């Protein structure tokens, strides 16, 4: 049976091996989605910026193609106003420190290279912190206050069925979560509804004139001369398990013998990339359990938060290069290694053109479904 070894304890009676086995942790699973302006996580370098500074991402609205002068119609004075939304990201200094105690006695009595292990341990924790900060950015606090939930054009609570209009819970978070019952689990139809909101700009039932701007796909390819548009859906493990129970998912791929593409979902490979559904690339993201609304659903069930992403969903800004600092204390008995970075991150939003003062997600549709 494993027992902890404290650096200040007497190791003389313990036969310690040089090899050690570190705990398995997921690092920053957002990394594959981080890059330029076409990526879900738009990353920028802010040269000359530092702690407390603000960096702005500019979001430019498209022009209306119907506003054109035909033949002899006057064009002068009909120019469309260019609308630019500035999304603010604040830079913070983030320091993470790891310590070794009893440095001298540890070096004498155990062959473990703790100094060599400290830096990679710290870097792993730094990557986890970036991931957790981004998940926190996307999370809405449970609340009974009005206007506490995301816009219906950037959210889907449960599944849209007859007698349950998708816009009835558009302002109060707890009311929306409380309506999620047994029929509101993750399904293929739910995923298609998320995609429809992205393609159309929101919930069509709210009226075509009230829709917000469309979400840009995270990837656009050409197939047989026609655009193939890709979005990304991050599911917690429990949300994915609920999806596997959906008959439409079962018919879609996992049990079929015919392989149509390398992207066909599989119950064999164990990949966290679970396949495509109508251009939606599905990834299992266990850390999304951090965003679970425990006991907030109908019958005190858990409500799971999944994230549907297009381009420019998050803004991430690094000010300068991260660095390490080290120090000895207590006459050399304690050694500390600190990782220092200056970083800002935020879920990107723009001001609604339909509802004054309301902020709308630029590239995210929030999915809320019942746990099993």
Residues, the chain: 372
Task: Please check whether residue 219 is in contact with residue 230, taking contact to mean a CB–CB distance below 8 angstroms.
Answer: yes
Six-digit token pair at 363?
Answer: 């590239």
Round the CA-based radius of gyration of the chain to a whole number and report it.
25
φ, ψ for residue 277, nearest 5 deg: -130, 105
Q: What is the pTM of this model?
A: 0.86
Task: Please check whether residue 232 is in contact with residue 218, taking contact to mean a CB–CB distance below 8 angstroms.
Answer: yes
Q: Distance (Å, rounded) from C-alpha 202 to C-alpha 208?
A: 9
Query: pLDDT tens for residues 269-286?
Result: 778 888 888 999 999 999
Query: pLDDT tens for residues 22-62?
Result: 667 677 889 999 998 889 999 988 877 878 788 888 777 77
Confidence of residue 12 (pLDDT cuts 50, 70, 90): very low
Query: pLDDT tens for residues 299-338?
Result: 999 999 999 999 999 999 998 888 889 888 888 788 888 9
pLDDT at position 102:
74
Task: Please check whether residue 283 is in contact with residue 273, taking contact to mean a CB–CB distance below 8 angstroms.
Answer: yes
Sign of the torsion formed by the C-alpha atoms of 256, 260, 265 and 269 = positive
Residue 266: is its pLDDT beyond 70? no
Residue-range domain boundaries for the chain? 152-315+363-370
DSSP string, 276-337: EETTEEEEE-GGGGGG-BTT-SGGG--EEEEEEE-TT-EEEEE-S--EEEEEEETTTTEEEE
189: enclosing H helix or E strand: helix 188-200
Task: Please check whether residue 196 is in contact with residue 211, taking contact to mean a CB–CB distance below 8 angstroms.
Answer: no
Bridge partner residues of 17 (DSSP): none
Q: Distance (Å, rounded) from C-alpha 108 to C-alpha 145?
A: 60
Determine the average pLDDT of the residues in 346-370. Answer: 91
Task: Please check whether residue 126 is in contact with residue 344, taking contact to mean a CB–CB distance below 8 angstroms.
Answer: no
Q: Which of 73-77, 96-100, 176-180, 234-238 has the highest mean pLDDT?
A: 234-238
Query: pLDDT tens for residues 151-206?
Result: 989 999 998 765 555 555 667 899 999 989 988 999 999 999 999 999 999 988 77
Residue 224: is its pLDDT beyond 90? no
The DSSP secondary-structure symbol of 109 reads H
Task: Please check whether residue 314 is in contact with residue 348, taking contact to mean a CB–CB distance below 8 angstroms.
Answer: yes
Task: Please check whether residue 118 is in contact with residue 106, taking contact to mean a CB–CB distance below 8 angstroms.
Answer: no
Residue 364: is its pLDDT beyond 80? yes
- Half-sphere CA count of 80, side-chain side, radius 13 A: 13
Residue 215: is its pLDDT beyond 90? yes
Strands (E), the chain: 34-35, 41-45, 54-60, 84-90, 92-101, 155-157, 219-223, 226-235, 273-277, 280-284, 303-309, 314-318, 323-329, 334-347, 349-351, 359-361, 364-370
Six-digit token pair at 354?
Answer: 């339909």
Residue with tokens 């000010």: 319
Q: How far does CA 102 lie from the centroid of its chain?
A: 40
Q: Distance (Å, rounded) from C-alpha 40 to C-alpha 364?
A: 9
Inter-CA distances, 265 with 243, 250, 269, 346, Å? 12, 10, 9, 31
Determine the average pLDDT of the residues in 130-159. Answer: 92
Six-digit token pair at 227?
Answer: 């655009």
């Amino acid at each position: 049976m494993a027992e902890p070894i404290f650096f200040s304890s007497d190791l003389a009676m313990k036969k310690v091996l040089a090899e050690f086995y570190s705990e398995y942790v997921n690092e920053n699973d957002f990394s594959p989605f981080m890059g330029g302006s076409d990526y879900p996580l738009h990353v920028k370098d802010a040269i000359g910026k530092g702690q407390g500074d603000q960096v702005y991402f500019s979001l430019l609205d498209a022009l209306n193609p119907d506003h054109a002068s035909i033949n002899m119609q006057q064009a002068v004075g009909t120019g469309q106003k260019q609308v630019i939304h500035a999304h603010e990201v604040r830079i913070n200094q983030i320091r993470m420190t790891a310590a070794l105690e009893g440095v001298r006695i540890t070096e004498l009595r155990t062959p473990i290279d703790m100094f060599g292990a400290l830096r990679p341990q710290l870097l792993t924790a730094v990557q986890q912190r970036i991931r957790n900060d981004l998940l926190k950015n996307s999370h809405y606090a449970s609340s009974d206050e009005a206007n506490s939930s995301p816009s219906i054009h950037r959210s889907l609570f449960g599944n849209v069925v007859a007698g349950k209009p998708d816009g009835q819970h558009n302002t109060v978070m707890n009311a929306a979560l409380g309506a999620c019952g047994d029929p509101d689990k993750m399904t293929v139809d739910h995923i298609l509804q998320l995609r429809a909101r992205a393609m159309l700009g929101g919930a069509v039932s709210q009226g075509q004139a009230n829709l917000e701007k469309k979400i840009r796909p995270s990837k656009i390819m050409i197939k047989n001369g026609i655009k193939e548009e890709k979005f990304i859906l991050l599911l917690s493990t429990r949300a994915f398990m609920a999806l596997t129970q959906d008959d439409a998912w079962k018919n879609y791929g996992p049990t079929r013998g015919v392989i149509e593409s390398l992207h066909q979902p599989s119950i064999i490979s164990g990949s966290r990339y679970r396949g495509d559904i109508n251009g939606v690339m599905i990834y299992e993201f266990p850390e999304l359990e951090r965003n679970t609304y425990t006991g907030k659903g109908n019958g005190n069930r858990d409500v799971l938060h999944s994230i549907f992403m297009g381009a420019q969903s998050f803004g991430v800004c690094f000010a300068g290069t991260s660095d390490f600092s080290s120090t000895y204390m207590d006459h050399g008995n304690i050694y500390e290694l600190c990782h220092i970075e200056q970083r800002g991150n935020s879920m990107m939003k723009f001001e609604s053109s339909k509802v004054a003062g309301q902020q709308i997600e630029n590239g995210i549709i929030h999915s809320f479904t019942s746990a099993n």
